[in-house]
Amino acid sequence: MEKQVPTRGKGQGQRVKGKGQRAKGKGQRAARLSHVDARGRVTMVDVGDKPVTSREAIARGSIRMSREALAQIRRGAVKKGDPLQAARLAGIMAAKQTSALIPLCHPLPIASVHVELTPMARGYDIEARVRTTAQTGVEMEALMAVAVAALTIYDMVKAVDKRMVIGDIRLMKKTGGKSGTFEREP
């Protein structure tokens, strides 16, 4: 369940809409995609007139694995090295390269990236927190950091367990910008 937190100037209980979005109701059209022009062509959103604001995004995901793979990681016995440190570094690098991999993402001045890996009974939960001061948000950078951190663990441990499952990659929270704050219910 998600909630949109109203920004200053909006009434209580109103959903915050971004540019190009319309409320969906009786006799109204659904929200318009911001990366598609009036003729249906893919286009990059022009953020040139948007104000520079502080923005943050938090994304989470997970990787589940066999007991043997988990035991090797926790014993420090993975032949390729420490997959957790490699995953943390890969997640940071991925956040910084998001615009090179996602065609319509803007290159952003990343202020900070933190990637945390929390041990669970059958694997790891991964959280990335990305901050910037820019004209557009860092949601894609946070999601990319989580995905690449999980893929790095998979790459380093696949000799032990090819059945690992990467999943539940999702945006948990974003702050800043015209659309305000989004926070996913736990």
The residues assigned a catalytic role are 155
3-class DSSP assignment, residue 30: coil
In the block, residue with structure tokens 């995905």: 147
Token pair, residue 55, equals 């923005």
Within 13 Å of residue 6, how many CA atoms lie on the same side as its CB? 8
Secondary structure in 3-state letters for 100-162: HHCCCCCCCCEEEEEEEEEEECCEEEEEEEEEEEECCCCHHHHHHHHHHHHHHHHHHHCCCCC
> Would you say 159 and 106 are in contact if contact means Cβ atoms under 8 Å apart?
no
Three-state SS at 65: coil
- Residue 77 makes CB contacts below 8 A (sequence gap 6+) with 71
